[in-house]
Amino acid sequence: SLLTLFLGDVRVRSRAGFETERRGSHPYIDFRIFHSNSEIEVSVSARNVRRLLSFQRYLRSSRFFRGITVPNSSNILDDDYNGQAKCMLEKVGNWNFDIFLFDRLTNGNSLVSLTFHLFNLHGLIEHFQLDTMKLRRFLVMVQEDYHSQNPYHNAVHAADVTQAMHCYLKEPKLSKSLTPWDVLLSLIAAATHDLDHPGVNQPFLIKTNHYLATLYKNTSVLENHHWRSAVGLLRESGLFAHMSLENRQLMESQIGDLILATDISQQNEYLSMFRSHLDRGDLCLENANHRHFILQMALKCADICNPCRTWELSKQWSEKVTEEFFHQGNPNSLVSLGDIEKKYHLGVSPLCDRQTETVANIQIG
């Protein structure tokens, strides 16, 4: 059944480069009432080109990761920015880490640069004998499968969540019990937890009979898609091809457990389980199942930790998420999701009506 769902969601890319042959989740690729065929063709073509250029840009902008210098470089500004980015990574465990600045310093490659650094910092490359070129290729594909036109659910958000997850992983009480396997799963899940997010919420996908809603029977639609998309990229990159099939399947399953835990509609269930453990005092981090549950809670916290950041960072995130609520699914227009829902009599989603909502009200909840 897993294979059937996987094949129904992700079409495996057959080329060695970065062109995609699977359909993305963006609803306006499917809902032709919003875009013409020519617009769709241009969008797909542009994304294919962007994927290739992103990899080339990353290779240039991340020379300091590989210890490669280019003699007589006239691009002094880029070299200086790389130096600043490297300095920032020395403080990657700081809760006040400015992911927006880091994204600018890495030329839009914050997710690739930060995640690669964390793999190296935690000793995962050596421990799991990873091919660094395959790792970079996997991370570039992940980064490019986030939609940059989404104000909030984009690669910068994924990088921010990955950095927050790293902060949690280094907490003394937790870190002393974690295995390299735990850390590996946590970082991959954090980096891919919103992969190929369409910029609209689950109720919108259900109301519009989107193929993902049908495929996943209206249950954790986005989270299931993020997970299956991550599995597709893991398999395509061959990053863990040297592992046994059993270990690869276990990895895919446990990454799924982590990503599915970020479904906000399941919040009460996880909180209830967490409170029960705390009331009984029976959480044991030596127990692999208990550790995995704590990692699920950690990823949930990392995913929505924006209000806990410094005011300067938190304010930016609150503005971006509000912008997406008002503009999600139609990034090239001033028409909001609420406007679209009104036009097609779908019922306006909570928090998405620009006429009645404000940033402050949305943050209050």
Could you give the residue numbers annotated as active site?
153
CA distance 173 to 265: 29
CA distance 56 to 360: 41
Residues at the annotated binding site for AMP?
Answer: 153-157, 194, 303, 363
Residues at the annotated binding site for Zn(2+)?
Answer: 157, 193-194, 303
**295 HSE (CA, 13 A, CB side):** 32
CA distance 115 to 143: 10
CB 296 within 8 A of CB 314: no
CB 192 within 8 A of CB 255: yes
DSSP string for residues in 50-104:
HHHHHHHHHHHHTHHHHT---TT---HHHHHHHHHHHHHHTTTT-TT--HHHHHH
CA distance 341 to 353: 9
Angle CA 288–271–223, to nearest 5? 75
